[in-house]
A = this chain, B = another copy of it.
């Protein structure tokens, strides 16, 4: 069945200098199911208009305020179908609530909110509204992450015993937040970012992906946080022990002061008979190490993969897909769910698409890490 028309997306955030706004635009539109038609790109009307022009948005739909966007769009014959939130974290909740109150579904950059209580509030609102709410934990869109998830669920590894998750970056090795680096500046400011530094920015990605792939939930954490760079107000380096369901255990490490690392997220999950190893920087390969028998390298789009991985492949094996394509997978799933929802289906989001539940767990993760670090021992999740 064909989609009769493209879904119309309105963006909040993504103004001049933003990194993630344009990424959302490309990802949303990649599979031909969504078109960005409006935006509150900046709180400055002039800058919002400039951004809109660059995005090819008509000037009238480039708003200076997200409330205004919602109000104005609802009056149009061709209003936005959903809002995407790409602002600094402290604005996630009010924007999401405003959209939900107006009956508009939401796609949100992560983390869901700036604090754990905010996330709980948002969850309540989302559940009450019945509106689709998606959270762009980008890495969940990679084909080989889907394959990893499938292998864990299928029993291919045997019972899972051990996990080793890391997410290392080096870009905050110096005090870049003090030198005009826009992305660093808001992330280093607790008021805009929330209480989690590296753990919020990238630790939540790693945490989500661990639960997403393994199918296990973290039940206790023992974490240690540091702010390595002098004067930095939030953590930039974290190591955590984890206990998970079903007697599994392991580690989660994240850092933004790992000099020389780019965006090194790696997931290793060890079962009784095999283990998997996936690196975001080499995303089209999934390594399966067998206790008995040769190591295997599984390639994206290869016919021996499971249906979930094959469902998201756009090009033949050997033609690399990357970060934008992973992002676009989430949008494609959200678009399909939107259409189903518009046609009356309740709870249309597929299990493969992160939503508010993942959002709440992510904020809980930050909360628990901070608490554990304070106590210098284990805390229940």
- Point out residues on A near B: beta carbons under 8 Å: 2-3, 5-6, 19, 22-23, 25-26, 29-32, 53-56, 157-158, 161-162, 164, 166, 168-171, 173-174, 222, 224, 226, 228, 237, 239, 241, 249-251, 253, 255, 257-264, 268, 270-275, 280-284, 288-299, 302-304, 314-325, 376-378
Give the 10 A-B CB pairs with smallest separation, nearest first: A260-B289, A263-B318, A262-B318, A320-B322, A322-B322, A319-B323, A295-B297, A294-B296, A2-B53, A259-B291
Q: A29-B29, A222-B224, A261-B289 are in contact. List 5 more A-B contacts (CB 8 A).
A: A162-B257, A164-B253, A259-B272, A320-B322, A322-B324
Q: Is the CB of B253 within 8 A of A224?
A: no
A251 contacts B253, CB within 8 Å? yes
Q: Do A260 and B282 have beta carbons less than 8 Å apart?
A: no
Q: Which residues of B contact A239 (CB under 8 A)?
A: 241, 249-251
Closest to A171 in B: B316
Asked if A162 contacts B222 (CB within 8 A), the reply is no
What residues of chain B lie closer than 8 Å to A157, measured between beta carbons? 259
B281 touching A320, Cβ below 8 Å: yes
A296 interface neighbour in B32, B295, B376, Cβ under 8 Å? B295
How many angstroms from the CA of A349 to the CA of B320 in the assembled complex?
27
**30 contacting pairs across A/B (C-beta < 8 A):** A5-B56, A26-B30, A30-B324, A162-B237, A169-B318, A170-B289, A173-B291, A222-B376, A224-B249, A239-B249, A255-B270, A258-B270, A259-B271, A259-B272, A259-B274, A260-B270, A260-B275, A261-B270, A261-B289, A261-B318, A262-B302, A262-B316, A263-B318, A263-B319, A264-B318, A281-B320, A282-B320, A294-B298, A294-B304, A295-B296
On chain B, the residues within 8 Å of A19 by CB distance are: 315-316
Task: Decide: B3 and A32 in contact? CB cutoff 8 A.
Answer: no
CA distance in complex: A173, B297 (Å): 20
